[in-house]
Amino acid sequence: MSERVRVMLSEEEVDRRIQEIGEQISKDYAGKQVHLVCVLKGGSFFMCELAKRITVPVSLDFMSVSSYGSETKSSGVVRIVKDLDEPLKDKDVLVVEDIVDSGRTLSYLMDMLKDRGPKSLRLCTLLDKPDRRVVDVNVDYTGFRIPDEFVVGYGLDYDQKYRNLPYIGVVELD
């Protein structure tokens, strides 16, 4: 069986949208410093592109989580594989993710980060699959709402592959 990737959102479309979100964030955080928290590995490509387009001062931190449960169905209980280097206390924190799917991971993560006492806490995701939502998550910035299809590229993987694609695609098997 061979795999092909069909383009869902082109590199130009994604770039244009990230520019818009960057401008919006720069307006919303005027006079502040925004502390971006990247959820590895998926959020890394989006965060770098977004950070370059934000014009207010930016600081960055990274965390890696893994959800208990099977590969295809996250349980919502999140294990921290790599924690943040710095405390969030009194910072204006913006979590940057690749995709919100069932919402289980993000809902758990946002609650956990809130307990660390940030001045503000918001969520920015490149992609959102609202049809798949099981747990309510408040998303402040969304790149694209997409249908319920398994997507790759821009940090998203299929079996650890395709993260480096500069566009969002759907893997087709034939």
Question: Which residues participate in catalysis according to the annotation?
Answer: 101
Closest contact distance (angstroms) between CB of 135 and ligand IMP is 8
Q: Which of residues 16-75 bind ligand IMP (CB under 6 A)?
A: 42, 74
- Polymer length in residues for the chain: 174
Q: Would you say 22 or 42 has its CB closer to Mg ion? A: 42
Closest contact distance (angstroms) between CB of 81 and Mg ion is 12
Per-residue contact track with ligand IMP, 79 to 98, x per CB under 6 A?
A: -------------------x
Of 99, 110, 121, 168, which one interacts with ligand IMP (CB under 6 A)? 99
Closest contact distance (angstroms) between CB of 89 and ligand IMP is 26
Binding site for Mg ion (CB under 5 A): 42, 98
Q: Is 165 in the site for ligand IMP (CB under 6 A)?
A: no
**Which residues here bind ligand IMP, judged by CB under 6 A?**
42, 74, 98-106, 150-151, 156
